Amino acid sequence: MSPTGACDVLPGMTVPAPIVQPFDWVATLRTGGPAGDRALAELHALLLRAARFEALRRRASLPWIGAAELDDLVLQAADDALVAVLSRLDSFRGASRFTTWAYKFAIYSAAVTLRRRAWRDREVSLAPELWDVVADRGGSPLQQVEDGELRTALRCGIEALTAHQRDVLVAVALEQVPIDVLAERLGTTRGALYKTLHDARRKLRAQLADQGLLEVTR
C-alpha cells in the first residue's frame, strides 16, 4: 500500500473489482448489537436529511418561524419517521431501494408537521360565503351566458351535497386548507377526508353532466 492509501499496481496486473454486497437494511436493523446500532444511527441521519430537505422547500411558507423552532420541528419529524419506519419494516417489499422507501416516511412526516404548524394559528372556516367560483372570462355573449349557467349549477350542486361533503369540499377546494390540517381539526384522517372529497366531486360532476355543462368546464 502506498503512503497515499492507493494500491500499488504492477504493470500488467489486473485489479479485480471489489465485491460490494448490497446492504441489507432490514436484516441489519433487526440484528441489534453494534451493527444494528450503526444502521439505526445512519437511518436516522438519512431521515433527518430528508426532513430538512422538505423543510427547506417549505421555508417560504413559514417566514415567522425561527431557525431554532424549525430545527426542532425537523428533528421531531425525523424521530416520528424513524418510529414509523421501524414499525413497518415487515411491509418493505423491496419494490424500491430501502432508502427511497424510508425517505417517503420522512417527507410525509415533515410535510404534515409543517403544514399543521403553518396553520396552527389560522382559523379554518367551514362555512364561508360561496363566492363566484367561475371568473368572468369576458368573452362572447354566449360564453358569458355559459359562465353564468355554470356558476348557478356549481352553487346548486354544492348546496345539494351533504353538510359534511360541502364542508370538506369548500375547505379543501375553495379555502385551500391543507387536508392534513382539516383532518386534525375534524379528528379524522387524510384518507377518510379525501374519500369524502372524491364523493363530493363525483356528485358535482354528475350534476353538471346532467345539465350538459361538464363540457363547458374543459
Partner 1 sequence: MNDVLSRLLGPGELEVSCEVCFEELDRYVELELAGADAEAAVPGMAAHLRGCPACSEEHASLTALLIDGSTS
| Positions in the binding site for partner 1 (CB under 8 A) | 50, 53-54, 57, 95-97, 100-101, 103-104, 107-108, 111, 115, 133-135, 154, 169, 172-174, 176, 178-180, 190-191, 194-195, 197-198, 201-202, 204-205, 208, 217-218
Supply φ then ψ for residue 189, to 5 degrees: -115, 160
Return d(Cα 51, Cα 73) in angstroms, integer.
Answer: 9
DSSP secondary structure string for all residues of 121-166: TS---SS------S------HHHHHHHHHHHHHHHHHHHTS-HHHH
Residue with smaller CB distance to partner 1, 17 or 95: 95
CB of 115 to partner 1, least distance (A): 7
Nearest to 84 by CA among 58, 64, 110: 110
Residue with smaller CB distance to partner 1, 70 or 179: 179
By the 8 A CB rule, do 186 and 120 touch?
no
CB of 104 to partner 1, least distance (A): 5
Residue with smaller CB distance to partner 1, 120 or 218: 218
Residue with smaller CB distance to partner 1, 31 or 173: 173
CB of 32 to partner 1, least distance (A): 26
Helices 67-87 and 98-118: crossing angle, nearest 10°?
A: 140
CB of 6 to partner 1, least distance (A): 25
Residue with smaller CB distance to partner 1, 31 or 130: 130
CB of 57 to partner 1, least distance (A): 6
Residues 6+ positions from 85 with CB-CB distance below 8 Å:
43, 47, 102, 105
Residue 30 cell numbers, joined: 433487526
